[in-house]
Structure 1
Amino acid sequence: MQVIHANQVLTPSGWQSCVEVKIDANGRIAHVGPVSQSPTHQVALLLPAPQNLHSHAFQRAMAGLTEAKGPDPRDSFWSWRRLMYKFLDQLTPEDVEAIAALVFMEMLEAGYGAVAEFHYLHHDVGGEPYENLAEMSERIVAAAAHAGIGLTLLPVHYQFGGCDRRALNGGQRRFGNDPDRFLRLHADAAAAVARGPADAVIGVAPHSLRAVDPLGLRTVVEQTASGPIHMHLAEQVAEVDEVLAHLGARPTEWLLDNHAVDGRWCLIHCTQMTDDETVALARTGAVAGLCPITESSLGDGIFNGTTYLGAKGTVGFGSDSNIHIALFEELKTLEYSQRLRDRSRAALATQNRSTGRVLLDAAATGGARAGGRDSGRIEVGALADLMALDDDNEWLCNRRGDAVLDSLIFGGGGQSCIRDVWSAGRHVVARGRHFRRDAIVDRYKQTMTRLETDF
């Protein structure tokens, strides 16, 4: 039994002072209440550690390599994709495991307690399946276990190069499956997850309306009857135009007309929705999976956060391309995007909760729902995904209540305040440092030395 004493704790009923939180041997919260015994950990501030709901781990190795202008003056997301496919031609299973371990370590040090890995790199170079169809999925499971992060594995079904059903080419071939082979791969990936830590979850991810046709989407959704369903939706103007031309409706409109979207679904990005689509999606109970740093990097557009939250929609946050893994920066970037668009301040705050409180509550609740994970709250019975922070510093200045969250997110030094992180009770970060940092970083650096020589 781990016993944490905290000066301040954010619980579902609000802020509490001088609280004892006990974690049992199964990694769940066994007690939240007054101090009753000597602690194993004494902390200033205890918060739920949200789940990162959208990650492509392998893209971390590309960080900083896509900032030059291409030969096309209209250089955009699509030229970024071409460089990504070129990069894919080099990655081995060993590379993917080393990169993923680093990514998951960085997430934990940034305050995330778990990750939903949107995993679409399945096959060998050229698209030839590995003898073990789930080879790459097993590498992700291994990396997560090594880092100690909670995992929701989302094997991705990816079949076509566009709505016109054109064949995959280049690096895309490493993603591709027909529905039958994908379902076999998914079953093998589910078995790998079942052999891992008890808190790991299996879900499914039909990639997008561009990469999966209506029959493939329906087949995958119906044949994977439990667990979260994640899908990219309405990210780019070009995507909206392509779906409209081939399916006769905009992406969000088409999905809502053709599927019973509910709380199992997490729709990623959604930066190209009309107001009516925004309200309609919010009312389904689906999570809008936002990745503001990546969306800014790729020039996707601005999610209609004020309207979505105003319609009582649920959002969560992910690091997507992993170019900068920083939970508090993701939250701040969403809020600032709303302010810039509307020329406003405190755009997402309510009368009862500050901006920082709204954002952290959303991240914790939405991340847990999107990941199918019993977490996101400091409450008896929940998984102990927790982060402890120091507040006696120049960033927080011993502030209390919602003012602490606003200072963490908008003050610029929030991540440096993180002291400890637990994932399902696993104490993986202490004094701001992951317990396997040196070994994970060394392996990653060796991998990158080889990759960048060939790139």
Structure 2
Amino acid sequence: MTPPAHFRFANAWLADGWRQDVVIGIDAGGDIVSIRSGDRETKAAAVAGAAIAGMPNVHSHAFQRAMAGLAERRAGSNDSFWTWRETMYELARRTTPRLLNVIAAQLYVEMLKAGYTSVCEFHYLHHQPDGAPYTDRSVMAQAILDAASAAGIGLTLLPTLYCTSDFGAVPPTQRQRQFVHDVPRFLELFDDLRGRVGSSPNSLGVAIHSLRAVPPAHLNELMGALGSRDCSVVHIHVAEQQREVAECLRHTQQRPIQWLLDHAPVDDRWCLIHATHAVDSEVDAMARSRAVVGLCPTTEANLGDGLFPLGRFLEAGGTIGIGSDSHISISPVEELRWLEYQSRLARQERNVFADPASGSTGSRLWRLACDGGARACGRNIGALDTGRRADIVVLDLDTPMLVGRSGDAIIDTLIFSGQPNPVRDVMVGGRWVVQDGRHFAEAAIAGSYRREGGVAIQPPQPEYRSIPPPRIAP
């Protein structure tokens, strides 16, 4: 049996608080097996700086990274999510398996360098643009799996069921055909991906695109079939837009969140993405359900979605995670800062979400998002503790903005001091993937992106070759 590797961290934010001179033992499988403070006897590799738990990213549409900045021109008199969606559809039409792989690999490198160590990929680009399946029905999902392997990020793959265009079982539009499955064929995809994900440290869940895209009968059929399958988590977009709420009311006489809670087995395996337009009764019911609410503040702001009632949700005992969604920003710091700042603007007061015990706002937000993110990923991550995956972010305390900081002031400064990125080293599953600010494969991955990805306007490239897993130095 391979003995554990040991690392001595000058400062570490453990499950029970900040400690100095911490030795963490990590087994060959990438799990933390021991943590000792003040241990001067164990031989261990020294790591300067401040070690904190890596952040889970609970919501990603990887291909959309290629359109960041390309939808920032006003589309008529009423520019909204629905007009932005047309630009997204055009990008989806151009996204081949190879292009998806290149975009996702570049994105995942950027995530790791920013402090995200795992990601939930809400994946609905299944087919060719005309709706015809690829010869290998899982090739688009395989492109995501290969990208995550190439970058070294932890992955929860969420193949997404998408059946209709709107409430009332409106048939999909021509632009939506590449997303669409019926339930039996979707289950065939899911079963195939179970074999591909296998027993790796990654995870396989399922996503329901939205109530407008999955009618009640299809939802019931899917949930019934998943009962006999190993499905770690269930994610769904819900109540993101006012129009969605209005159409749900018209067709079901209920608001979407209330309908979902009344008609689906929502529990702590579920992650409700956005849940923006929720009334008080829905907020309280979501908290009671123990579902995670996945918030994506920079995307929600970019699309003009609205503000989730976070204060009431947390007061009711609710659980949150954060995601970068459309990837107009790749920064857990910015997502958390937006959560706090939008509430400061609405309430006209400061430190709205400060920890009641310590008074620290930043540390509470990071803990909340790590705890909820771990559950939404369906993986044993989110804290530096024995039995958890060794997903560790090391902050450079020589960064000018962190000089002289200690304890919770490190996290408060990280989140509320502006744009510098002090992430120096990143470990995922016990392996260093970023050291001294450089990702081990960033030059090769960026080179592929420049050649083949860029702004995603190249002609289609039908051939896709799987990229072999990288060699990552322990």
Unaligned runs of 5+ in 2: 461-474
- Runs (4+) of structure 1 exceeding 4 A deviation are none
| Counterpart AA for 1:140 | I
Partner in structure 1 of residue 196 of structure 2: 192
1:454 CA drift (Å): 6.0
Does structure 1 residue 327 correspond to structure 2 residue 327?
no
Counterpart of 2:312 (choices 307, 312, 318) is 307
Residue pair 2:452, 2:458 contacting (<8 A) in 1 also? no
Counterpart of 1:452 in 2: which secondary structure? coil
Residue pair 1:395, 1:413 contacting (<8 A) in 2 also? no
| Counterpart AA for 1:298 | L
1:450 CA drift (Å): 7.6
Residue pair 1:4, 1:43 contacting (<8 A) in 2 also? no
2: CA distance between counterparts of 1:80 and 1:10?
A: 40
Counterpart of 1:4 (choices 4, 7, 27) is 7
| Counterpart AA for 1:215 | A
Residue pair 2:18, 2:407 contacting (<8 A) in 1 also? yes
Aligned in 2, Cα 1:185/1:412: closer, same or farther, shift over 3 Å? Answer: same
Does structure 1 residue 151 correspond to structure 2 residue 155?
yes
Residue pair 1:52, 1:367 contacting (<8 A) in 2 also? yes
1: CA distance between counterparts of 2:411 and 2:446?
A: 30
1:413 CA drift (Å): 3.9
2: CA distance between counterparts of 1:347 and 1:450?
A: 39
Does structure 1 residue 15 correspond to structure 2 residue 18?
yes
- 1:266-309, Cα deviation, whole Å (9 max, x unpaired): 00001110122111101211100010110010011111111111
Partner in structure 1 of residue 220 of structure 2: 218
Residue pair 2:11, 2:49 contacting (<8 A) in 1 also? yes
Partner in structure 2 of residue 386 of structure 1: 392
- 1:324-367, Cα deviation, whole Å (9 max, x unpaired): 10110010011111111111211111321411011100111111
Residue pair 1:85, 1:170 contacting (<8 A) in 2 also? no
Counterpart of 2:43 in 1: which secondary structure? coil
1:228 CA drift (Å): 0.2
RMSD of aligned alpha carbons: 1.4
Partner in structure 2 of residue 75 of structure 1: 79
Counterpart of 1:125 in 2: which secondary structure? coil
2: CA distance between counterparts of 1:371 and 1:75?
A: 33
TM-score of the superposed pair, with normalisation by structure 1 = 0.96
1: CA distance between counterparts of 2:46 and 2:84?
A: 45
Unaligned runs of 5+ in 1: none
| More deviation, 419-428/4-13 | 4-13
| Counterpart AA for 2:333 | F
1:323 CA drift (Å): 1.5
Residue pair 1:6, 1:19 contacting (<8 A) in 2 also? yes
1: CA distance between counterparts of 2:176 and 2:67?
A: 16
| More deviation, 433-442/338-347 | 338-347
2: CA distance between counterparts of 1:356 and 1:50?
A: 13
Residue pair 1:109, 1:433 contacting (<8 A) in 2 also? yes
Partner in structure 1 of residue 173 of structure 2: 169
Residue pair 1:378, 1:384 contacting (<8 A) in 2 also? yes
| Counterpart AA for 2:193 | A
Partner in structure 2 of residue 234 of structure 1: 239
| Counterpart AA for 1:387 | V
| More deviation, 181-190/92-101 | 181-190
1: CA distance between counterparts of 2:132 and 2:412?
A: 49
| Counterpart AA for 1:124 | Q
Residue pair 2:203, 2:379 contacting (<8 A) in 1 also? yes
Partner in structure 2 of residue 363 of structure 1: 369
2: CA distance between counterparts of 1:424 and 1:453?
A: 36
Residue pair 1:283, 1:313 contacting (<8 A) in 2 also? yes
Does structure 1 residue 448 correspond to structure 2 residue 453?
yes
Counterpart of 2:186 in 1: which secondary structure? helix
Residue pair 2:102, 2:453 contacting (<8 A) in 1 also? no
Aligned residues: 451
Does structure 1 residue 63 correspond to structure 2 residue 65?
no
Does structure 1 residue 136 correspond to structure 2 residue 140?
yes
| More deviation, 95-104/441-450 | 441-450
2: CA distance between counterparts of 1:303 and 1:11?
A: 30
Counterpart of 2:220 in 1: which secondary structure? helix
- 1:21-53, Cα deviation, whole Å (9 max, x unpaired): 121111001211132323324122010002111
2: CA distance between counterparts of 1:216 and 1:314?
A: 28
1: CA distance between counterparts of 2:457 and 2:137?
A: 28
1:433 CA drift (Å): 1.3
Partner in structure 2 of residue 107 of structure 1: 111
Identity of aligned residues (%): 43
Partner in structure 1 of residue 31 of structure 2: 28
2: CA distance between counterparts of 1:265 and 1:15?
A: 31
Does structure 1 residue 284 correspond to structure 2 residue 289?
yes
